[in-house]
Structure 1
Amino acid sequence: MLRTCLLVFVVLLGFGKAVAQPLIKISGLVTDELGKSLQQVTVTVIGQSQSTITDEQGAYNIYSKSKIFTLKYTLLGYNTILVSIKQDKAGRVTQHVVMRINPNELEQVTITNKQNQLSNSTLINLTDAAAMPSVSGNFEAVLKTLPGVSPNNELSAQYSVRGGSFDENLVYVNDVEISRPVLVRNAQQEGLSFINTDLLSSAKFSAGGFEARYGDKLSSVLDVKYDRPDSSSAAVSAGLLGLAFSSKIVSPNSYLLTGIRYKNNTGILNSQDNKGVYTPSFTDVQLLYNYNLSSRFSLSLLGNYNSGRFKLIPESRETEFGTADTKLRLNVDYEGEEKDNYQSAGAAITLKFTPRPDYVIKWISSYFKTDEKEHIDIAGWYLFDKDDGPSTSKESSIGGYINYAMNKLTSQNFSTELKADQTFKNHTFSWGLRFENKDYNDDLNEYSLIDSAGYIANQQVHNFYQNNSVVVKNKLTIQYYTAYMQDSYRLSANTDLQLGLRAGYNSLSTQFLLSPRLLLAYRPVNNRKIFRFSAGVYQQAPDYRSIRDFNGMLNLHQKAQRSYNTSAGLDYAFDALGTRLKFSSELYFKYLDRLVPYMMDNVRVKYLAGEVATGYTYGADFNIGGEFVKDLLSYFRISFMKSAQDLKNDGLGYLKRPADQRVNFSAYFQDRLLNSPAYKVHLTLLYGAKLPVGSPLLQRYSDDFHIPAYKRVDIGFSKDFLDDFNVKKSGFLEKYFSSFTASVEVFNLLNINNTVSYLWLKDLDNVQYAVPNYLTGRRLNVKLVIKFKKSK
């Protein structure tokens, strides 16, 4: 009864206002680009309480209280439309609207995109990548919230997918394969990844079961595009961690994209246990120029220069660890310094020929050169305290260690590729031919010493424990020849089949490799589900990194790693909680009959190049996402996995692989403040179960120790002063800017000490201890992102 009375009161109040003030009625139809009616489109009068949705015919009626107003049309999966209307007097207005598909949004929460039916990929919402609070500032941070990806280092752009190493992931920018540095051993040395978020037009990611058009790696594919923008624009962002500028210039026959980024994360690194003078400096410059030579020919140039300089003068370190019963404390005084320099430069030229609308041919050639230098000369003198409780006395050990490295690596990569796609009535046939030449010139000179009894100080160097000593020079050239063909075939109105085959040969292993792949997709008549099944062989040819062992020696007889993959998945779209949600799940199994075992030290992958192992990985990924708050996408995922390997002839059977992270959970949630909806909240939660690790003293692979679970919460608050929810906007800002956003971010909100690796030390009794190297603590960041007014 009370609800009824309140409802009557509200209706009467609204009626009274309507009578007291003349209203303008707006009617119209909303359709897509093909003229099809769109239902459930939300139509809002900005700044007023008026809103409605379109019916099955796409029709709507709405009222405005003022004569000058703006209508907003929104539908998940389509670009938002704003229409300004000025009416001299009360009456009727007819306003028809045509909405265009936004594929970045559509694939996240709907199943209706036919183009992605035969793709085992997730289309990434680019708005997430820009808004997500991230210490690294790299695009890859958003990948660590996706199913199948294991998070364990917020400073690094590297990631592990379904039990694989960092080197098992493919990354493409405009069909150009991107490589990562070889010498980087610590995430704090990493700078800016190749991908510039400000230039992105689309990005999709596959955690496995990807098609034959992609290269020969075992785990995943990240495929990003820089394409023609809708209009010219420019943007600037500035914060405590760095600066960025991007511009997009569009003309009738060409377009130019440029991006400049600078990063300095000194404040973040100062939150680590190692205290000292950090001087990181990272710069990246990119451009993409595309020119239409004719209606059929176009030429594009992608250029990049990436520089990373890292300098550290360590002073001291204090680390507390252990258990409630046994408390351990390490105090270290340092002398010396570390200076690292990583530089990469190169370009790719693409000639595109379109003889017919359904036939595209591309010729892509690229050359990249990378110079990496490490100079480390650091000595540490430590006091190691062990407290077993009040009933025992406190023990102390004094010792020291030395880390030295003078490493140089120059790598050059040239590739040229011809690829084509042609669509027939029920087929899309694709093929490609590729040649790649890689040159490596490596000069390694490094060693590390650990002393727990003062031998170093007494010049008795024959008594110390030598953890690592490498003095070697390597020169290597490898040629790769690959080809692929695949056919995507429409079996019926609801079923698609894709068959593909890759062939490869390389001058190192001299193997002829064949990799067949299959993907089957079924979509029921209701158009809300997709069932997928994939199976295939994935073979990763040996490269310089995998054939170099701990001592710098090369195993020139190494064969390609091979994996047999199968997966079954379901995408299901449904309406709940007042929005459209998408649920995705996938079960997978990988059997590896030939793999190269490795060990992890921070982000450094150390291969046992002379060993061969068999292995398996199986698991399940679950993900659900949608607009729980209008216009803000949120999603939650959980993954379960087991990954193990058996080194041949070691007699130990199956052991955990270094990336055997049994449980992963992530959430990215966005909301608006209730009383101030122009303010947005962006929350990222990450959990990754413990990871296996072995002692460096053992002369074999082991998994008898572990790195604790990774737990992290980052939160950001932002406000766009030109957001539609701002009733009063600055005239100055509206005149010159399309967006003016200020953000405050708190990294590691709960200030959790996450372990990334261990420093292995001994006491006087020759007992070895694993001293944890922690990642970053709680830090505050302030950022301003300005997008200038677009020009036609």
Structure 2
Amino acid sequence: MLRILISLFLLTGFQVFAQQTAYISGVVKDAEGNRLNEALVFVQNTKHLTKTNTKGEYTLVLPTGKHQVSFSYIGYRTLNIAITLKSGDKLTRDIIFEANQLLSEVRVIDQKDRREGITILDAKSFEQFPNASQSFEAMLKQLPGVSTNNELSSQYSVRGGNFDENLIYINDIEIFKPYLVRNGQQEGLSLINPDLVKHVKFSAGGFSPRYGDRMSSVLDIQYKSKDSLTAIASLATNGSSLTLFGEKKHLSFALAYRNKKNQSLLKKQQVTGSYNPNFNDLQAILNYQFNKKFNVDLLGIYNKSEFGLVPESRETVFGTLQETYRLKVDYEGQEKDAYENTLGALSLNYKFNPAISLKWINSIFSIKEKEHFDIYGQYVFEEIESDYMGGSYGQVKANRGFGAYQDYGRNELNANIYSSEFKLNYIKEKSVWEAGLKYQRDEFRDKLNEFNFLDSAGYSLPNSNGNGLEVYDYRYAVNKIDINRISGYLMNANDLGDKWSYTGGLRFIYNTFTKEFIPSPRLILTFHPKNDKDILYRFATGLYVQSPFYREMRDLDGSINYNIKSQKSIHLVASSDYKFEGLGTQLRFISELYYKKLKDLVPYELENLRIRYLANQRSNGYAVGLDFSLSGEFVRDLQSSFRLSIMKTEEDIENDGIGYIKRPTDQRVNFSSFFQDRLFNSPTYKVHLNILYGSKLPAWPPKTQNYASNFNIPAYKRVDIGFSKDLLDSESEKRIRLLDNYFKSFTLYAEVFNLLNINNTVSYLWISDINNNRYAIPNYLTSRQLNFKIIAKF
């Protein structure tokens, strides 16, 4: 397979026309002699650009003639130099950004992110990341503390928390994931459009009062309304996208459309049939600058996912070499689901002076979801001969049971979330003050109507009434919930002498459902030894409160628990952040030890992506763990990372008489690696390798409440690989003139998802045989899949 893919790239050696070229190279440093990594070097009014490597070095291949070369780095004013090149010239120009060119405000903010333990992600690396789900959140699975076991979904859990415990912001506006989605097949495009992303910040815990109010993590996304590019177009076997940027006087805007096609993935699922997914996303952002002090941002998002399935049959073989079983199912019926999210937001930004700014954010987030399914299946459960040496290999050894079942649902959820928030920032030298006040109103309209039954003919399910039919897990409810919320915060970040700094403050939240007013103090202390080593030590602690949104208050039968309390988590985090030279490059090693004390938890069941809370029960628990990560440019201009996470989380459900048990997210070990390299020692042929490992997860049959069961979902193991070639790479000595006239870059990708073709289990179908022995039939995720894509930038 690898040889075939490499051969495809070799075929891209089109007939090109040689140009007379020359070279300019050098080193970019700051006033103190530090070499600057990822400084932007570009030639004005051309498509030639590059970035410095970890040693501050750059090289540009340019045509002969006169050029205006610009050097840009975060926090500094752009520098420009004029050069004249002749054929074969190898010009050296070293650049130094002087102290008087530094933008002090940016410098303070950049230092503050590192002190707070915020991880900064490079949004541009998403293009190189082999990713079956096409979700931006897939990149998070490379970060310390993030657990993974489903490549089809953008959902993720952090340090023992579930999906509902993660905060996600776009331009300071909280966004929400679909509620009724039960598996990754139904999930469409993530609300985050990678082409619009400007800045990405992530924290796995111990974050500042600026963020709230969830118990686990925060993902902070900032969009851009203008770019050096005018358009980005992508075409792939699994989808397409188009993003346009425009600017005229005081107005700048971006318009983006995406479409996802995953029929090729779904056709290889265990259930064969007619799949009809239709996933679309349209986003627009507009900024109008009235003057230097006042500007307005408009953000609009419309995201719709439709999923249809007419199942035909299923065959699953599982077990061991000694005992092998087969489940065969024939289906009737169909499923039709629709998930629609709409966001409209208006932000007014006013800068009183360079030190004081005010932001007023108003938004409406609308959720409309429907899932309609009525599927009937007739099954045969058999034990088959597994002896390779015998003449009856693969034949039926014993019939373990047969019967039929039906899944029926007519569920609908409509919700509107209105919010208005003021945010005030004040910067004075090294001191940063922030304050915010927010009002939010949630309106939920929920209709739940679903059941399933087993007609086991006396085999799969014992019957008390003797008629062979027993309705199981019937739920019907109609709920109407309105909640008003008020939250706010005040925080300050400053130095305590030469070696110490802090970020701390107070957050509060009140909601009209639980009628709780809860303050949330938080503190981050940072120690910088100020020696020859670039190392920081951090300690963070705080109370993180998660008041019930909606799903937490709804019990399994659909009823609402009006006496529920807000869930709470106390974080204790100790970490070190060390930047050093090693292996011929600059490396960054981060280690974190954390403990979370969990109180007033709402226990839940987790089946695939579906979280069902036991709203009338309550528990207390904990999560403890260690995270390690190592990152750096092991190959010039290509960032790679390795991480290892070890975690344990348990809870004690009140009055169950069992004691502490594993939480559904108790995944003890997670390892990931994203490694990039160059093929054939060429700067234009690149390989991108993504490795994921997540240890086993606890599992138990539904409705059994056998929480102490030792049954587990097997470990998640996955390898994805991608190859890329930019036909217009600035380091390429030969370029295709036709493309060069119209594009700034034209990159070809070939990707192999699940390279090792491992059958990863995401959940189980539970059935019983004639002796009432219960069996777990694995529901597998995706198999090996090829994907090709082209990304063109204008």
TM-score by length of 1: 0.88
Matches of 2:270 and 2:711, distance apart in 1: 22
Contact in 2 for aligned 1:632/1:670 (Cα 8 Å): yes
Greater shift in the superposed pair: 545-554 or 231-240: 231-240
Residue 343 of structure 1 corresponds to 340
Provide, for residues 675-713 of structure 1, a one-character-per-residue CA deviation record: whole Å limited to 9, x for no partner: 433111000000000000121141464443210000000
Residue 376 (str. 1) matches residue 373 (str. 2): yes
Q: Which residue type is aligned with residue 400 of structure 1?
A: A
C-alpha offsets along residues 146-203 of structure 1, whole Å, 9 cap, x if unaligned? 1100010000000000000100000000000001121111111000111000000010
Letter in 2 for 1:329: R
How far apart are 1:89 and its partner, in Å?
8.8
Q: Determine the structure 1 residue equivalent to 2:185.
A: 188
Per-residue displacement from partner, 1:687-742 (whole Å, max 9, x unpaired)?
Answer: 00000012114146444321000000000011100113321101111111011001
1:152–1:710 CA contact under 8 A, matched in 2 = yes
| Structure 1 residue 642: Cα displacement | 0.4
* Residues 713-792 of structure 1: pairs in structure 2 closer than 5 A: 713-788=719-794
Determine the structure 1 residue equivalent to 2:542.
Answer: 536
Whole-angstrom distance in 1 between the partners of 2:708 and 2:442: 33
Contact 2:635 2:676 in 1 (8 A): yes
- Flag the 1:73–1:668 CA change in 2: closer, same or farther, 3 A: farther
Equivalence for 2:424: 420
Is 1:480 paired with 2:485?
yes
Q: What one-letter code is carried by the residue in structure 2 that aligns with 1:171?
A: I
Do residues 395 (structure 1) and 399 (structure 2) align? Answer: yes
Partner of 1:682 in structure 2? 688
Distance 1:126 1:186, change over 3 A: same
TM alignment of 1:576-615, pairs within 5 A = 576-615=582-621
- SS of match in other structure, 1:395: strand
Identical-residue share of aligned pairs (%): 43
Cα distance in 1 for partners of 2:746, 2:484 equals 49
Of 648, 664, 668, which residue of structure 2 is paired with 1:662? 668
AA in 1 matched with 2:512? S
Offset at residue 91 of structure 1 (A)? 9.3
How far the C-alpha of 1:126 sits from its partner, in A, is 1.5
Distance 1:292 1:468, change over 3 A: same
Q: Quick one: which of 441, 446, 449 aligns to 2:453?
A: 449
C-alpha distance 508-463 of structure 1, shift in aligned 2 (>3 A): farther
Alignment pair present for 1:433 and 2:430 = no
What one-letter code is carried by the residue in structure 2 that aligns with 1:511? E
Tell me how far apart the structure 2 counterparts of residues 586 and 232 of structure 1 sit (CA, whole Å). 38
Q: Which moved more, 1:494-503 or 1:544-553?
A: 494-503
Letter in 2 for 1:256: F
After superposition, the Cα gap between the structure-2 partners of 1:24 and 1:562, relative to the gap in structure 1 and judged at 3 Å, is closer
**Which residue in 1 is equivalent to 2:496?**
491
Q: Conserved in 2, the CA contact under 8 Å of 1:117 and 1:521?
A: no
Question: Residue 630 of structure 2 corresponds to which residue in structure 1?
Answer: 624
Does the residue aligned with 1:171 lie in a helix, a strand or coil?
strand
CA displacement at 1:425 relative to structure 2: 3.9
- Tell me the SS of whatever aligns to 2:112: helix
Say which is worse superposed, 509-518 or 227-236, in terms of deviation.
227-236
Q: Which residue of 1 is the match for residue 393 of structure 2?
A: none
Matches of 1:594 and 1:727, distance apart in 2:
63
1:141-160 equivalences under 5 Å are: 141-160=138-157
Shift of residue 400, structure 1, vs aligned partner: 1.0
Between the aligned partners of 1:177 and 1:632, the Cα distance in structure 2 is 32
The one-letter code of the counterpart of 1:445 is N
Aligned to 1:408: 412
Residues 641 and 66 of structure 1: CA distance in aligned 2, closer, same or farther (over 3 Å): closer
Contact 1:237/1:785 (<8 A) preserved: yes
1:522-579, Cα deviation, whole Å (9 max, x unpaired) = 1221361111100111110012100111111111110000111101001111111110
Other-structure match for 2:213: 216
Q: Is the 8 A contact 1:42 1:75 kept in 2?
A: no
Q: Deviations over 1:93-121 (max 9, x none)?
A: 785646799xxxxxxxx999523233221
Give SS of 2:744's match. strand
For the 8 Å contact 1:70–1:82, the answer to whether it is kept is no
Matches within 5 A, 1:190-589: 190-387=187-384, 393-453=397-457, 463-525=468-530, 526=532, 528-589=534-595
Tell me, in whole angstroms, the C-alpha distance in 2 between the residues paired with 1:92 and 1:590: 57
Structure 2: state its 5+ residue gaps: 1-20, 44-49, 100-106, 391-395
Give, as a single letter, the amino acid of the residue that structure 1 aligns with 2:202: F
Q: Match of 1:315, as an amino acid?
A: E
1:30, CA displacement in angstroms? 4.5
The answer on whether the counterparts of 1:467 and 1:696 sit within 8 Å (CA) in structure 2 is: no
Does structure 2 retain, via aligned residues, the 8 Å contact 1:289–1:300?
yes
Shift of 1:271: 1.3
Q: Say which SS state the counterpart of residue 737 (structure 1) adopts.
A: coil
How far apart in 2 are the matches of 1:703 and 1:523?
Answer: 47
Q: Distance in 2 between matches of 1:27 and 1:589?
A: 49
Q: Deviation string for 1:414-440 (max 9, x for gaps)?
A: 011111111124421111111111111
Match of 1:138 in 2: 135
Task: State which drifts further: 112-121 or 310-319.
Answer: 112-121
Pick which of 152-161 and 244-253 moved more. 244-253
Q: 1:295 to 1:677 in 2, by over 3 A?
A: closer
Note closer, same or farther for the CA distance 1:475–1:456 as it changes in structure 2 (3 Å cut).
Answer: farther
Asked if structure 2 preserves the Cα contact closer than 8 Å seen for 1:752 and 1:777, the reply is yes
CA deviation vs aligned residue, 1:415-467 (integer Å, no higher than 9, x gap):
11111111124421111111111111111110011233269999989543443
Mean CA deviation greater in 251-260 or 497-506: 251-260
- Runs of 4+ in structure 1 deviating by more than 6 angstroms, as ranges, are 23-29, 40-46, 53-56, 60-66, 69-84, 89-94, 98-101, 388-392, 454-461
User: What corresponds to 1:709 in structure 2?
Assistant: 715
Q: Is the Cα contact below 8 Å between 1:150 and 1:688 reproduced in 2?
A: yes
With the length of structure 2 as denominator, give the TM-score of the two structures: 0.88
More moved, 480-489 vs 70-79: 70-79
Distance (whole Å) between structure 2 residues aligned to residue 62 and residue 350 of structure 1: 41
Pick closer, same or farther for the CA change 1:359–1:564 going to 2, 3 Å: same
- Tell me whether 192-201 or 490-499 shows the greater mean CA deviation: 490-499
1:68 to 1:654, Cα distance in 2 relative to 1, 3 A: same
Q: Distance in 1 between matches of 2:547 and 2:196?
A: 32
SS at match of 2:551: helix
**CA offsets 1:10-39 (integer angstroms, 9 cap, x no match):** xxxxxxxxxxxxx9998988455xx66554
Judge conservation of contact 1:240–1:781 (CA < 8 Å) in 2: yes
CA RMSD of aligned residues (A): 3.5
Q: Distance in 2 between matches of 1:119 and 1:362?
A: 22
Corresponding position of 1:11: none
For 1:221, what is the secondary structure of its paired residue?
A: strand
TM-aligned CA distance change 1:527 to 1:652, over 3 Å: same
The structure-2 alpha-carbon separation of the partners of 1:659 and 1:65, relative to structure 1 and needing over 3 Å to count, comes to: closer
**Which segment drifts farther, 577-586 or 448-457?**
448-457
Preserved contact between residue 600 and residue 619 of structure 2 (Cα < 8 Å)? yes
- Aligned partner letter, 2:431: H
